[in-house]
Chain A
Amino acid sequence: MTDFTPLLSFLGGTMIGLATVALMAVHGRIAGINGIASRFLTTQFNGDWAWRAAFLGGMVLSPLAMLALTGRLPEITVPSSPLLLAVGGFLTGIGTTYGSGCTSGHGVCGLSRLSARSLVATLTFMTTAFATVFFTRHVFGG
C-alpha cells in the first residue's frame, strides 16, 4: 500500500508544469525528459548538449534540495526484481525512442499543445502500462 497524497501530488505536478513552461519561455525547448536524456547521450558536445547536461544535473541533484527543504532525503520503494527492472528499462528505452517521447514529452508537453500524436501516444502507453500491471499482479503473480 502507498498513501493517497492528492495535495502533494498536485503540488508536485504544478512544479513540473512550471519547470516545463519555464524551459519553453527561456530556452524554447520541450521538457521531454527521455528526449533530453537521449540527446545528452551523444559525442557532439555543443551548446545544446550543455543546456541538456545542466538541466539533467539539476534533476539528479534535486534530492539534495529536498534534503535542504525538509531535513531528509526522499525515500523510494522498488517493488520490481532486478530482472524486471532490466527488462522493463530496456523496453522503455526501445519504446520511447521509436515512439518519440515519454510521460513528460507526450503526456505533459504534447497534450498541452493539443498534439494528436501525443494524445495517441499517451493513451497507448497508459493502456499498456495498466494492462501490464494487471497481468503481472493478478494473472501471473500475486
Chain B
Amino acid sequence: MKLLAAFAFGLLFGCGILISGMGNPAKVLNFFDLAGTWDPSLAFVMGGALLVTAIGYRLVFRMGRPLLAEAFSLPTRTDLDLKLIGGSAVFGIGWGLSGFCPGGLIPVLGLGFEPLLTAAAITAGILTARWTISLSGRIHTAKA
C-alpha cells in the first residue's frame, strides 16, 4: 500500500513536470534568459506548485501524523551556513549550464541520451560531494 501510493505520487509528480515544461531544458534555459528569448512559463509552474503546497501542507500538518507513517519527517536545521549558500550557488550554475534540475530530469530519463548523461554526471557530483564531506568530517574529528 505504502509503495503503491509512493509510485502513484511519483507518477503524478512526473506528469506535472512533463505538462509544465519543467522537464524540457530549452524551456528552462529560456526562463533564465531575461536578456534574450525569455519564456516566463516556469514562474507559473512555481506559482502553481507553491499555491497548492503552501495551503495543502497547512491542512496536512493539522492531521497530527501521516496516514502511513509514525510521524512527519521534517528538516530541523535553521542555521544559514556557507555550505547551504555555496552549495546552492554551485547548483544554480550547474542548472544554468545544463537546463536540467533533478526534479525536471528524472521524468525525462527515458527520453534520450542527454538526460542519461546528465544523470550520470549528477550522480558523480553527489558521490564526490559525499566523499569530500566525509573527508572534512574526519579531519574535524581528528582535530577534536
Q: Which of chain B's residues has its CB closest to A131's CB?
A: B96
B57 touches A24 (CB 8 A): yes
Query: Among the listed B7, B79, B125, which residue makes an inter-chain contact with A91, where contact means beta carbons less than 8 Å apart?
Result: B125
> Bound state CA distance, A46 and B84, in angstroms?
28
B3 touches A21 (CB 8 A): no
A8 touches B20 (CB 8 A): yes
B35 touches A138 (CB 8 A): yes
- Chain A residue contacts of B139, Cβ below 8 A: none
B48 touches A14 (CB 8 A): yes
B95 touches A33 (CB 8 A): no
> Bound state CA distance, A113 and B97, in angstroms?
29
Query: Among the listed A27, A54, A79, A86, which residue makes an inter-chain contact with B25, where contact means beta carbons less than 8 Å apart?
Result: A79
Q: Would you call the interface of chain B mostly helix, strand, loop, or mixed? A: helix
Query: Among the listed B37, B40, B87, B109, which residue makes an inter-chain contact with A97, where contact means beta carbons less than 8 Å apart?
Result: B87
Within 8 A of B (CB), among A69-95: 69, 73-80, 82, 84-95
Contact with A along B39-53 (1 / 0, CB 8 A): 111101111111111
- Chain B residue contacts of A37, Cβ below 8 A: 102, 106
- Chain A residue contacts of B20, Cβ below 8 A: 8-13, 15-16
Q: Which of chain B's residues has its CB closest to A106's CB?
A: B88
Q: Which of chain A's residues has its CB closest to B57's CB?
A: A112
> Bound state CA distance, A58 and B10, in angstroms?
4
Given contacts A13-B44, A91-B125, A93-B125, A24 and B19 within 8 Å (CB-CB): no
- Chain A residue contacts of B119, Cβ below 8 A: 89
A25 touches B66 (CB 8 A): yes
B67 touches A25 (CB 8 A): yes
A76 touches B90 (CB 8 A): no
B32 touches A132 (CB 8 A): yes
B91 touches A59 (CB 8 A): no
Query: Among the listed B48, B63, B100, which residue makes an inter-chain contact with A85, where contact means beta carbons less than 8 Å apart?
Result: B100
Query: Among the listed B14, B98, B115, which residue makes an inter-chain contact with A92, where contact means beta carbons less than 8 Å apart?
Result: B98
Chain B residues with CB under 8 Å of chain A are 2-27, 29-30, 32-37, 39-42, 44-54, 56-57, 59-60, 63, 65-75, 77-80, 83-104, 106-112, 114-115, 117-130, 133
A-B contacts, 16 listed (Cβ < 8 Å)? A54-B10, A55-B9, A58-B7, A58-B14, A79-B29, A85-B114, A88-B95, A89-B124, A92-B91, A93-B129, A95-B90, A99-B86, A103-B102, A108-B53, A117-B78, A133-B29
